[in-house]
Structure 1
């Protein structure tokens, strides 16, 4: 087997030389390590985060699984806090984990490395520990790459992160080949081989699933350097891993849950497989009834099913279940903010946005914009009771913007652009800003599960429409605001099954294209919505034509990447192979 060179990452991080022999089992053999790490995982899922770390720490520099588990928990913590010192601690710990895994990997001489290019090694030439060291090394490398992207915005880090991801991907592919070969020869009989199999299924599954989500223009570039993604293969590998009994089964479950409850909605068309998500979660709800991560996903599924009241109860249960990781509380606040927004309980939604703006480091600009947007939906006398100044809040947004991996966060850029209306001495109020942000996060797909709430939202939109039509003081933003109202109205009507009326609203936006001055994103998003409407009507060709127009005829607008992800998902469900981009439909 031609393993990826041990040199690149080792040289960069200054790894110690590999042992001539694997450390003696009396210290911590593979089986004992797996047993102890399973105990740590159970502690973690029971909200005993510090205890899990304490169990793993003593052996974190001597055992590959202790190193992987210990560093993974710290990486999760740093990703949730976004505090620079936590991110740095995560990176430092992951470097140490890589060093530990490196010592257990098979060490090739120069001659062996060259011969591997000609004839691949088989798994027979690796000991059990060496096989597991490869899979653990790949997992550590992938996590360190992710942290490298968020740590600093310089291009060197970006390139280093990309190299790590590619190396990790290559190791997973080669481990998969080794596993497949051994399985076909009936050699996967050791009691630790199913743990290796679980690692392979998690890695191959997650890589294929995530790569399959990427828009074709990105994927073409990645395929050129050796990446490719197959969605069905990814899902099947993760499902097999989730149904197994390896230590990584829960990680396969959590990856599938994240895909069904977040990725499918934010970067897709919203067609999530919630039945599978519930089935995956059920045994863990029984085993860890107070586990905050398990409760969080249970509540998220309730939201996606339109069971907002039940979701609110479960999120509150999740919050009180533990006090150690406040970051999980912040995730709950974000979801509760939307829960109340879907029900147009703007004041309660504002309270959660306010909590986030004060406690969470993730995106201050977004949280402050959300606060101002939610308050904008309330009568002035109610706003006064909060002690907030809406104009002052909008004016703060730009100063709070941050950069990740050298780029601005798209939703922050969007919030900054919208807030600029308030910079002048005579600000022009935004129209339905909370509902616009709801649309940006694909929230209408969720509200659409509840006809009663969708009707209520439609009433709010139509009131804004009448107010704009009766506006005596015409501003430079009027055409943009009217188009926004028609887009939101059309989306509501579509979810209520009033497709002809929805089509009229969408066409009104498209016919107003030349009058739009600032919110140019409205046009391609409207073409996309029209495409989904025609898909719902069964007119596949027309659906593809309109979605391809959104894809090919517009660029350099707000939230372009987000729309391209959704377009990719929509076209993937409509057709098997790409077609050429047509001109604008008449």
Structure 2
């Protein structure tokens, strides 16, 4: 049963019966467009300028910001920003909303100037909030007023987000944070966000978006795919009905179809998202990334290359990663097929190390992984990587997606078999054991999703048996332990699963994508053990 359904039964009754009724109505009837978390008042004057009326300045500011948010969700991005910008110096809600939009833009572009502007704007908004706080503290008669629900929604957003994020961190990081007084509980965080998402407060939309991000992205990329797709669909549906052409909602609709394994429906949604607006190309780039993976899952290498190529030309997030993915897809084609693209896999692989970049002084983990793998092609007579798109697919937890469809998984297993034949026919080299262990790990994943658990376990064990002979891809061993542990967990072998997972967590360091693997191990341990405050596991 879904988390939201369980929560609905356990939530205490609110003193305000109207708010409780609205919350229940949203959860029970997700298709109702009249109970959205964004103001729904077509009769509202689009320009709120009469500050002489009896309503408070705070009420007017909130209403104006919700109108701006409504414009933003309708893809009218510039109009929303213009409306907010004029009052960022005197209204904390205008300042915060404007800064949040700039932060979103900066996260999508990774443009240094966008990041700097967004950061400075957020600092300015914090200063305005501090000024307002000082005014409130100096007020002799402060009490809960008509806008208290917006304040309460903000608290639930902050507390919920903090608890959720802290609880997902690896144990070693959690222990350090706990030492200085930080604690977090995942279930409590989700509960706070669900409570904050109901009703029509200013932060309801943000609570919904964070829940959607958790269920559709964080739980897959930094977890084991434990997100609740059913809850995500319930959260999204009313917004899709009110904003059928809203880019954000079309994107999430595509992502939900993707993680359900409905790739054709996902592709259609992402294409719609690209067509409905042209102001923010960053939304296009997010869709291109997901489209690239959808076609990877379908083994349509040419189309996957097409979207990787678009990203390499239009987006600056990680040129090295895009070049690596282009090379990876070309490596799956015949030499004659590659001629039509005017590039070769060898040339692209050799370009990857030179495209390395740093953001805030740090390199992206995916970029570092791509550079390490591409170095093999710097040799005069390089030995080809085995199925590089399928390896990167594992890094992004793509096997959890294809595992929902038997035909997709069987096709991927067939491709891995073809790569095995190539490896067996190649003279033995310093890379042979690494390549064999990689194929064994990926075969094990496919077999696990196909229900052939004994065969899957044999392949995971094969990686572990060759640990001492692996020269470069040391990340394979802890990840094989992780997957073996998840397999044991599915079979009810709880003690064995915990032992494998803790071995993977404690015995291996300084390997590729280590942090992401630790996040996944932590999520798996959450499944295997009772989880208490801060994600620390209770005794069993």
Matched, 1:419 2:365: no
1:327 alignment counterpart: 282
Assess, with a 3 A threshold, how the Cα gap between structure 1 residues 260 and 125 changes in structure 2: closer, same or farther: farther
Matched, 1:259 2:214: yes
CA apart distance, 1:98? 2.4
Contact 1:198 1:244 in 2 (8 A): no
1:367 alignment counterpart: 322
Pairing partner for 2:96 from 68, 71, 94:
68
Matched, 1:198 2:157: no
1: CA distance, partners of 2:507 / 2:88: 53
2:521 alignment counterpart: 567
1:58 alignment counterpart: 86
Contact 1:487 1:509 in 2 (8 A): yes
Q: How does 1:248-327 map to 2 (within 5 A)?
A: 248-327=203-282
Pairing partner for 2:177 from 211, 219, 222:
222
2: CA distance, partners of 1:428 / 1:466: 15
2: CA distance, partners of 1:499 / 1:527: 15
2:8 alignment counterpart: none
2:186 alignment counterpart: 231
CA apart distance, 1:381? 0.9
1: CA distance, partners of 2:287 / 2:140: 49
How many residue pairs get aligned? The number is 484
Contact 2:444 2:456 in 1 (8 A): yes
CA apart distance, 1:450? 0.9
Runs of 4+ displaced beyond 4 Å? 24-28, 123-126, 577-580
Listed one character per residue, the Cα deviations across residues 329-357 of structure 1 (whole Å, up to 9, x for unaligned) are: 00000000000000000000000000001
1: CA distance, partners of 2:324 / 2:502: 32
2: CA distance, partners of 1:551 / 1:69: 40
2: CA distance, partners of 1:440 / 1:192: 45
Assess, with a 3 A threshold, how the Cα gap between structure 1 residues 65 and 478 changes in structure 2: closer, same or farther: same
**Alpha carbon RMSD of aligned pairs, Å?**
2.0
CA apart distance, 1:458? 0.3
Higher relative contact order, structure no. (Cα contacts within 8 Å, ≥ 6 residues apart) = 2
1: CA distance, partners of 2:259 / 2:129: 40
Q: SS state of the match for residue 403, structure 1?
A: coil
1:431 alignment counterpart: 386
Assess, with a 3 A threshold, how the Cα gap between structure 1 residues 423 and 105 changes in structure 2: closer, same or farther: same
1:81 alignment counterpart: 109
2: CA distance, partners of 1:97 / 1:80: 21
Matched, 1:477 2:443: no
Q: How does 1:430-469 map to 2 (within 5 A)?
A: 430-469=385-424
Contiguous gaps of at least 5 residues in structure 2: 1-49
Q: How does 1:206-217 map to 2 (within 5 A)?
A: 206-217=161-172
Assess, with a 3 A threshold, how the Cα gap between structure 1 residues 89 and 124 changes in structure 2: closer, same or farther: closer
1:533 alignment counterpart: 487
Contiguous gaps of at least 5 residues in structure 1: 1-23, 109-120, 129-187, 581-586
Contact 2:330 2:344 in 1 (8 A): no
Q: How does 1:100-249 map to 2 (within 5 A)?
A: 100-106=128-134, 127=142, 188=144, 190-249=145-204
Listed one character per residue, the Cα deviations across residues 150-198 of structure 1 (whole Å, up to 9, x for unaligned) are: xxxxxxxxxxxxxxxxxxxxxxxxxxxxxxxxxxxxxx5x320111111
Contact 2:530 2:537 in 1 (8 A): no
Q: SS state of the match for residue 382, structure 1?
A: helix
Contact 2:308 2:326 in 1 (8 A): yes
Assess, with a 3 A threshold, how the Cα gap between structure 1 residues 201 and 509 changes in structure 2: closer, same or farther: same
2: CA distance, partners of 1:322 / 1:382: 34
2: CA distance, partners of 1:249 / 1:100: 22
Assess, with a 3 A threshold, how the Cα gap between structure 1 residues 541 and 29 changes in structure 2: closer, same or farther: same
Moved more, 55-64 or 521-530: 55-64
CA apart distance, 1:102? 2.6
TM-score by length of 1: 0.80
Q: SS state of the match for residue 330, structure 1?
A: helix
CA apart distance, 1:244? 2.2
2: CA distance, partners of 1:394 / 1:530: 32
Contact 2:403 2:409 in 1 (8 A): yes
1:392 alignment counterpart: 347
Q: How does 1:492-507 map to 2 (within 5 A)?
A: 492-507=446-461
Listed one character per residue, the Cα deviations across residues 11-63 of structure 1 (whole Å, up to 9, x for unaligned) are: xxxxxxxxxxxxx9659700000110110010000000111111112211111
CA apart distance, 1:80? 1.3
2: CA distance, partners of 1:198 / 1:565: 29
TM-score by length of 2: 0.87
1: CA distance, partners of 2:422 / 2:126: 61
Moved more, 415-424 or 85-94: 85-94
1: CA distance, partners of 2:233 / 2:318: 30
Listed one character per residue, the Cα deviations across residues 447-495 of structure 1 (whole Å, up to 9, x for unaligned) are: 1011101000000101111221232x22110110011011100000000
